[in-house]
Amino acid sequence: MAAAGGGSASAGGGSASAGGPRAAAGGVGRSAAGGGGSPIVGVVGGSRSDFPILERAVAVLAELGVPAELRVVSAHRTPDWLFRYAEAAPGRGLRVIIAGAGGAAHLPGMLAAKTQLPVIGVPIPTQHLGGLDSLLSIVQMPRGIPVATVAIGNAENAALLAAAILALGEPALAERLAAYRARQTATVLEDPSNADVADVVAGTGAAGAGVAGTGSVADAADGRPSE
């Protein structure tokens, strides 16, 4: 459910707080998605207008059982709050930060400069430049302070990358992530229109025989025997 600040994000049975700077100033980590624990991923946006995209990250994290929060932290409107958020993050139990911003998008880089936690940047699509401005602002971090950058608007991948980082030390999460990916694969292969692909993967059918056997798909397709 929504926390102070009005916005909300929930998926997979979890919920995420969406407090603005004022709401968050008195405390942090009030609510979380993905199991109801204290948030371990901080999902932040430079504006509430970024939330429709960032909520997708929260939803994926919830599906993977990773507690997360969703907050507004603005590099240019609330710089002092940005510093406080970054400095407090490790002590609050956050282990990865996902930061979405649009335009001259300072937020991910400034957060990364203020904390050693891994920061994943989500370039938010923009009206005039389509998010290319956001992408270049985030991805072109100068040497010394890295920000992992996903594709424009691809908050889902930010969540998956955050989960992969966390899964290095959490076998149960690694299993859930593997299951997520397996479901994704099954969705493609179980689509009747992809029956030929499923044959290849299963090693059945003309093309599949080439893949599963000693030859290549091209070998099987042109009828020549494999070596």
- Taking the least distance from each CB to ligand RP5, the nearer of 63 and 133 is 133
Kindly tell me the burial class for residue 102, based on how many C-beta atoms sit within 10 Å of its own C-beta (0-12, 13-18, 19 or more).
buried
Among 20, 103, 109, 153, binds ligand RP5 (CB under 6 A): 103
- Taking the least distance from each CB to ligand RP5, the nearer of 48 and 176 is 48
Q: How far apart are the C-alpha atoms of 115 and 22, rounded to whole Å?
A: 21
Q: Measured at the alpha carbon of residue 64, what is the angle toward residues 154 and 71, in degrees to the nearest 5? A: 55
Residues 6+ positions from 131 with CB-CB distance below 8 Å: 102, 123, 124, 125, 152, 153
**Quick one: how far is CA 35 from the chain centroid?**
17
The single-letter DSSP state of residue 149 is: E
102 binds ligand RP5, rule: CB under 6 A: yes
Report the length, in residues, of the chain.
227
Per-residue x/- mask for ligand RP5, residues 72 to 101, rule CB under 6 A? Answer: --x--------------------------x
**Binding-site residue total for ligand RP5 (CB under 6 A)?**
10
- Look at residue 33 and give its three-state secondary structure: strand
- Taking the least distance from each CB to ligand RP5, the nearer of 50 and 55 is 50
Q: How far apart are the C-alpha atoms of 121 and 108, rounded to whole Å?
A: 5
Q: Which of residues 151-210 bind ligand RP5 (CB under 6 A)?
A: none
- Taking the least distance from each CB to ligand RP5, the nearer of 107 and 200 is 107
Minimum CB separation from ligand RP5 for residue 47, in Å?
3
Question: Which of 63, 47, 144 lies closest to 99 in space, CA to CA?
Answer: 47
Per-residue x/- mask for ligand RP5, residues 28 to 57, rule CB under 6 A? Answer: -----------------xxx-xx-------
Minimum CB separation from ligand RP5 for residue 9, in Å?
16
Q: Which residues bind ligand RP5 (CB under 6 A)?
A: 45-47, 49-50, 74, 101-103, 124
